[in-house]
Amino acid sequence: MGRGAQVFRLDGGNATYAFAVNERGELQTLYWGGRIGERDSLPAAHSNPEAASFDSPYTTTPQEYAGWGAGLFTEPALKVSFADGNRDLVLHFVRASPNGPQSLDVLLKDISREVYVTLRYSIDPDSGILARSAGMENKEKQAITIEQAAAAQWTLPPARYTLSYLTGRWAGEWTLNQEPIIGGARVIESRRGSTGHQANPWFAISRDASPSSAGPIAADEEHGEVWFGALAWSGSWRISVERDQLDSVRVTGGFNPFDFGYKLQPGEKLETPVFYGGYSDHGLGGASRLLHHFEIAHILPQAPDPKLRPVIYNSWEATEFNVDEPSQVALAEKAASIGVDRFVMDDGWFGQRKNDHAGLGDWYVNAEKFPHGLKPLIDKVHALGMDFGLWVEPEMVNPDSDLYRKHPDWVLNFPGRPRSESRNQLVLNLARPDVRDYVEGFLDKLLTENNIAFLKWDYNRNWAEPGWDQVPQDEQKRVYVEFIRNLYSILENLRRKHPKVEIESCSGGGGRVDLGILRYTDEVWPSDNTDPFDRLAMQDGFSYAYTPQIMMAWVTDSPHWGNGRATSLTYRMLSSMQGSLGIGANLNRWSAEDFSTAKRLIAAYHSAQRTIVRGDLFRLISRAMAANFPRLRLFRPTRIKQSFLRSRMPRRKAADFRCCNSQGLTRMLSTSSARSKGRLGQELRRARPVRGGCATASNWNCAETFRQPHSGWIVNARC
Ligand code: GLA
């Protein structure tokens, strides 16, 4: 980090980030890109000129953190209203305080009011990924309301750019979208109180090297400059990517300003989440690899060297709510016989939980299903050589529950208005201290009284009426912040008190995956859609932002419950082996051959796992390359015939694809042990084509399948 004539510079990995104080006192972005020489100096900052009388320097100059005021027409980082009706906020530099060689706090203050903002910067020396956030402090004599607060703003100079971002829906998460960045703004967001399946708080911006504005826009997989970012927040969030009136690109991300209003009393502070940002000159592939290694080294609870995920068995698709001691023991015995490390009992074990109409909130063991409590099952699982995990959904309540009958006021709601149920459940208001304590208390008790190694922490709906009427009217919107802060604090306390317990973040599949929750959770459930063919495309999308280490993938039954597609067990296993492997099939229906196939492949997976989930990940078929194949027109649902090593590309190109895959596999195998090489090699030769195809064209999975451009084997070439 360096500072000269009020120029601040952070260097890490292959990146440099620099900003400075301009002649007007504003903090102005200078540079973000490839690392520049130690001795290279950066020019002092100077504001941009006004653009006619319509755009003043305040709006044409790229600011690090722009307050809304003084005629700012681009997205503000901070918007405040004061008690006297003033809503003008102009932030000027006060001072900078280094916190060691790689981190820096910069204090800004409004030009006349006692509102202070501390911008926090730190850069990872290995990856060059920056962590940025902001803290607001009200030193006025009266309260102020924060109407909008970003964690950070990032600016890129005018150029031709492509934006990549991830969208989806329940059972169809992780679609990679790519589009040119044109004038105006693209907003990706969640207004749901939670991260959401519909968009993920990650973006990547690729610079198009081609000077021609007429050529096709394509984000390059392995070449070219890419800037990327990920917001560490599990509540309502927003990232806006705008190309401004002078063609600069400004990315602003933080709390979603929709329905936001955080009242800060005199002396109070508000901290934003962290917005991480990085730079790669090796295309989107390079950007993903930087993020993967950063997540492993700095984000996950067991960083910098998290344990490889145990191979799990999960009972959900086999038994759904019909869990009891004999049925779970029968599954556990079979799971142990194929080399599973962890047995997880899913929904149905507590309260009066016979289906999804009742029981959430009542976290006592159901005595009809488990007359002697959980201990006999847990002991049996241990005796079989596995550890034991349990499903919980702590933030929810069914109206048909003792908890709701006792505390109907504990749910998010607006009094006198309907309480909208989804999956027959309501959201507990975790922002309330008593609700927070109840949730932490029952989880602590459950983990203290039972030998539990793992929680699958679910969250099966989003918010409807986000009311919190126990606090004054002008403080009720704090719910968007306090709920998530309390969620994080419960997770943090539980991990501290039960350091051996690991946690999976699940929200009806991939509805809560972000760098905020990942500080407290070891893995995530990417989707309720466990069809192995659909998963290939989802896993590909997932890999842009998140490491395969955290990507749990189960092998379930065939034909698949969601789309009727039949696949061989080997195909299902190999698809799931791209991440952290799990088995979710009904083992009571398996043949002897199935058991021996699974046993062989789990052993092969165990020996290759470190390479698969911790190596450098290369996507061998780039989306740009896949786009050259007119695949969508050539296949009808009933004509799908896939093999694991064949994509849905026209025949004339299938040979190229096989070649790429086998090259990749060779690279992967060459880094694995001789044993795993032999095993995996054999299995890949044995992989059977998919039998049959999608059931109907109107099936939701088919729609998803045919929109996804490709699904190649993800190869990890190096540990
Ligand atoms: C959610 C999860 C599933 C399963 C069910 C149980 O849908 O994503 O994996 O745990 O809840 O109700």
> H helices of 182-309, where?
283-294
State percent of the chain over pLDDT 90.
Answer: 82
Higher pLDDT, 527 or 651: 527
> CA separation (Å) from 463 to 192, 346, 667?
6, 23, 46
Nearest to 338 by CA among 137, 540, 585: 585
For the chain, the straight-line distance linking the first and the last C-alpha, in angstroms and rounded, comes to 31
Confidence band, pLDDT 50/70/90 cuts, at residue 218: low
Quote the pLDDT of residue 244: 95
Ligand 1 site, residue 346, Cβ cutoff 6 A: yes
Q: Considering the chain, what is the average pLDDT of its residues? A: 87
Q: Give pLDDT, residue 626.
A: 53
**pLDDT value at 280 more than 80:** yes
- Confirm or reject: Cβ of 508 under 6 Å from ligand 1: yes
Instruction: Please report the pLDDT score of residue 712 as a whole number.
Output: 33
Q: Which residue has the CA at smallest separation from atom 1 of ligand 1?
A: 508
Q: Residue 402 C-alpha to ligand 1 middle, in angstroms?
A: 22
Query: What is the rounded average pLDDT of the residues 592-615?
Result: 97
- Tell me, what amino acid is at 231? L
The 8-class DSSP code of residue 258 comes to: T
Between strands 161-167 and 78-82, the pairing is unpaired
pLDDT band at 312 (very low <50, low <70, confident <90, very high): very high
The finding on whether 349 has its CB within 6 A of some atom of ligand 1 is: no
Q: What would the mean pLDDT of 494-518 be, rounded to a whole number?
A: 98
Distance 507 CA to ligand 1 centre (A): 8
Tell me the CA–centroid distance for residue 497 and ligand 1, in Å: 26
What's the confidence (pLDDT) of residue 62?
Answer: 97
The conformation of residue 355, written as its DSSP 8-state character, comes to S
Whether the CA torsion 612, 700, 517, 427 is positive or negative: it is negative
Backbone dihedral angles phi then psi of residue 379, each to the nearest 5 degrees: -60, -40
Q: Which residues contact 367 (CB under 8 A, 6 or more apart)?
A: none
Q: Whose CA is nearest to atom 7 of ligand 1?
A: 508
573 pLDDT more than 90: yes
Q: Find the mean pLDDT for residues 189-213.
A: 90
pLDDT, tens digit, for every residue of 604-619? 999 999 999 999 999 9
- Two structure tokens written together for 84: 């006297």
Q: Are 125 and 12 within 8 A, CB to CB?
A: yes
pLDDT in tens, 237-253: 999 999 999 999 999 99
Q: Is 139 buried (19+), middle (13-18) or exposed (0-12) by CB count in 10 A?
A: middle
Nearest ligand 1 atom to the CA of 525 is 8
Q: What is the pLDDT of residues 60-93, one digit of tens each?
A: 999 999 999 999 999 999 999 999 999 999 999 9
CA triplet 584, 554, 686: central angle to 5 degrees? 105
Confidence check: pLDDT of 700 > 60: no
Q: Would you call 300 exposed, middle or buried from its count of C-beta atoms within 10 A (0-12, 13-18, 19+)?
A: buried
Lowest mean pLDDT among 229-233, 290-294, 618-622: 618-622
The response to whether residue 350 sits with its C-beta less than 6 Å from ligand 1 reads no
User: Could you identify the atom of ligand 1 that is nearest to the CA of residue 356?
Assistant: 12
Residue 528 alpha carbon, nearest atom of ligand 1:
8
Lowest mean per-residue pLDDT among 213-217, 226-230, 274-278, 320-324: 213-217
d(CA 581, CA 561): 20
Rounded to the nearest angstrom, the distance between the alpha carbon of 106 and the centre of ligand 1 is: 44
Q: Where is pLDDT greater, at 98 or 695?
A: 98
Which residue's alpha carbon is nearest to atom 8 within ligand 1?
508
The predicted-structure confidence for 447-459, as pLDDT tens digits, reads as follows 999 999 999 999 9
**Reported confidence tier of residue 217, pLDDT bands at 50, 70, 90:** low
pLDDT surpasses 50 at 649: no
Question: Is the pLDDT at 187 greater than 60, yes or no?
Answer: yes
458 CB within 6 A, ligand 1:
yes
> What share of the chain has pLDDT > 70, as a percent?
84
∠544-609-507 over CA atoms, to 5°? 50
Whole-number pLDDT of residue 213: 57
Confidence of residue 192 (pLDDT cuts 50, 70, 90): very high
Q: What confidence tens digit (pLDDT) does each residue in 389-424 have? A: 999 999 999 999 999 999 999 999 999 999 999 999
Q: Which residue has the higher pLDDT, 622 or 444?
A: 444
Using the mean position of ligand 1's atoms as its centre, give its distance from the Cα of residue 347 in Å.
7
Q: Select from 169, 344, 346 the residue to mutate for testing ligand 1; criterion: most ligand atoms less than 8 Å from CB.
A: 346
Cβ 509 under 6 angstroms from ligand 1: yes
Known catalytic residues are: 458, 528
Q: Residue 120: pLDDT above 80?
A: yes
Q: Say whether pLDDT at 661 is over 50.
A: no
Q: What proportions of the chain, in percent to the nearest 5, are helix, strand and coil?
A: 30, 30, 45
Query: How far is the centre of ligand 1, averaged over its atoms, from the C-alpha of 393 (Å)?
Result: 9
pLDDT of 215? 57
| Residue among 460, 505, 512, 525 whose CB has most ligand 1 atoms within 8 A, to mutate | 460
CA of 664 to the centre of ligand 1 (A): 34
